[in-house]
Chain A
Amino acid sequence: MITGADRVLPYIYAFIAIVLVWQIVVVFSGAHVAILPPPSLAAKTFLELVSNGELFRHISASLSRVIIAWLIGAAIAVPMGLAMGRSAAVERILDPVVELFRPISPLAWIPLAILWFGISEAGKIFIIFIATFFPIVLNTVSGVKNVDPVLIRAGQVLGCNDDATLFLKVILPAALPSIIVGFRISFGTGWAAIIAAELVAAQSGLGYMIADGMEILRSDMVLVGMVVIGILGVLIDTVFRIILRHYSWT
């Protein structure tokens, strides 16, 4: 039996180890505080940013961008993946398109995002959207294609007489775990893309905080931003894992 403590403890140990190594590097390298501040300074900065509300402003800005982009991504990628998984003709047309765009990093879209959307919120969401899109498409396609054929036959002899009913009653529920895995991976890739998205003309967000910290030589802010991204990433992923556990029936 794996308890909650068993899951959380490794993360706490890892965190302590990272802080220790960080402290050791600081001591032995003798780096200037602006280049590599000690953990204690980062902790102090963290508390300051918490108490003046700045950190929460940045977190909520980043999080809402990722959620919006991810919802748009899912709204387009799920139907597209379902169509590709069900129809060989659709897959033949769309698969090469997906495969050609997929290797292009969200970073590469920054110039076009600025040209197309200016420095508005839309440009940032667009870049995160690019990052969320492909994992959902790919997992949806594979989820639909890997539905056990015998379940489809069972659906047919149990009264799913048309394609729409069969799809809703058998194929979609059978593919759901894989689709949710896609959601989980894509939220992660979207979350990682906030740096790219907020690199340009942002006034808020954890990515902005990091970029800003670099410009004003506040590497303590940079480090706080990085740590917060890491911890929130793990927490969000945990939420998805809990949801997935509910949907994994094997």
Chain B
Amino acid sequence: MSTKAKPVEIRNLEMTFVTKQGENVRALEPINLEIAPGEFVALVGPSGCGKSTLLNILAGFIKPTGGEALIGAEPIIRPDIDHGMVFQDYALFPWLSVINNVAFGLERKRFAKAVRTKIALEFLELVGLRDFAQKRPSELSGGMKQRVAIARVFATDPSIIFMDEPFGALDALTRRFLQHQLLEIWQKHKKTIIFVTHSVQEAIYLANRIVVMTARPGRVKSDQQIDLSYPREFTQEKFRTYEKLIYDQLDEELAKTFDFESKGVFRE
């Protein structure tokens, strides 16, 4: 019934930005990654490491300066409704009611109105917001907004979903609740998910694979399978072991970042 999850293939993908001053800034060194259909991959790395850049390239918002990325064996040309995205700041359309936000993509996919309403309500039910269908986004809390955004992306039944620090702006409790909810939905509607986060805990809690990126320019530092059954607990011993492993790698990168910065200061 639902769309088949798609694989992602990233080959020698690189990105160099040109700043307004005309300087070249290298954001991504050649990256190679293969992601299987239905995998939940977390991208973690120090800030500015290019993980959001990578996500924006995969979503089709920006063009890489080298290499290529394929989704379902096809090159990415532009944003596509089959490649969903959840943004950190929710990106709900404030002029539309909650249900019309969820139905937005369905309307673009030319579903009949009755079908749109039915599907939208189904997914609002899934995130526990059926009673808020007629509200405006401005009447909702941050956590509720992000649940609407999650319902909106799953409702269009994409084969892959990109999530750019979706829970970054939420408080710890709301975050925990949404992580749990996201896992349930993912297990029900198996999609490939690429999830950018700052939080190591979040990455281990959610993903079955964690890709750690180096400090700018971003490269793949490590690629780690998480062999833990769901639902996971932060207190599990194996969870702790993974946490230490990933933190050690991140600490190395952070040390480099500080090193860079302090050298920069000395030079001035």
Select the stretch in B1-9, B104-112, B120-128, B193-201 that faces chain A: B104-112
A8, CB-defined interface residue at 8 Å: no
Contacts A156-B61, A157-B84, A157-B85 given; does A151 touch B105 at CB 8 Å: no
A150, CB-defined interface residue at 8 Å: yes
A153, CB-defined interface residue at 8 Å: yes
Interface contact B138-A249, CB-CB below 8 Å: yes
Select A165's contact among B61, B108, B137, B138, beta carbons within 8 Å.
B108
B37, CB-defined interface residue at 8 Å: no
**Which size class do A's interface residues fall under?**
20 to 34
Taking CB atoms, residues of chain B closer than 8 Å to A169 are 104, 108
Contacts A158-B152, A173-B95, A250-B94 given; does A153 touch B85 at CB 8 Å: yes
Interface contact B108-A151, CB-CB below 8 Å: no
A170, CB-defined interface residue at 8 Å: yes
Contacts A157-B85, A158-B81, A165-B108 given; does A151 touch B93 at CB 8 Å: yes
Interface contact A249-B91, CB-CB below 8 Å: no
A125, CB-defined interface residue at 8 Å: no
Across the interface, name the chain A residue whose C-beta is closest to B83: A157
Chain A 158-179 near chain B by CB (<8 Å), digits 1 or 0:
1111000100011001101000
Contacts A165-B108, A249-B136, A249-B138 given; does A159 touch B156 at CB 8 Å: yes
Q: How many B residues have CB within 8 A of the partner chain?
A: 27
A157-B60, A161-B108, A169-B104 given; name 16 further pairs at CB < 8 Å: A153-B61, A153-B87, A154-B85, A154-B87, A156-B79, A157-B81, A157-B83, A158-B156, A159-B105, A159-B156, A161-B81, A174-B95, A249-B94, A249-B136, A249-B137, A250-B94
Number of residue pairs A-B, CB distance < 8 angstroms: 64
Taking CB atoms, residues of chain A closer than 8 Å to B93 are 151, 154, 170, 173-174
Residue among A150, A151, A158, A159 facing the most chain B CB atoms (10 A cut-off)? A158
Interface contact B108-A158, CB-CB below 8 Å: yes
Interface contact B109-A250, CB-CB below 8 Å: no
Shortest Cβ distance from residue A187 to the other chain B in the assembled complex, whole angstroms:
22
- Could you tell me the distance between the alpha carbons of A151 and B61 in the complex, rounded to whole angstroms? 13
- Could you tell me the distance between the alpha carbons of A160 and B59 in the complex, rounded to whole angstroms? 14
Taking CB atoms, residues of chain B closer than 8 Å to A165 are 108
Residue among B87, B93, B96, B136 facing the most chain A CB atoms (10 A cut-off)? B93
Taking CB atoms, residues of chain B closer than 8 Å to A151 are 91, 93
B252, CB-defined interface residue at 8 Å: no
Contacts A157-B79, A159-B105, A250-B138 given; does A150 touch B95 at CB 8 Å: no
Shortest Cβ distance from residue A162 to the other chain B in the assembled complex, whole angstroms:
10
Q: Find residues 72-117 in chain B having any chain A CB closer than 8 Å to their own CB.
A: 78-81, 83-85, 87, 89, 91-96, 104-105, 108-109
Across the interface, name the chain A residue whose C-beta is closest to B155: A158
Shortest Cβ distance from residue B76 to the other chain A in the assembled complex, whole angstroms:
12
Across the interface, name the chain A residue whose C-beta is closest to B96: A173
Taking CB atoms, residues of chain A closer than 8 Å to B108 are 158-161, 165, 169
Chain B 152-168 near chain A by CB (<8 Å), digits 1 or 0:
10001000000000000
Interface contact A159-B91, CB-CB below 8 Å: no
Interface contact A158-B59, CB-CB below 8 Å: no
Taking CB atoms, residues of chain B closer than 8 Å to A161 are 78, 81, 108
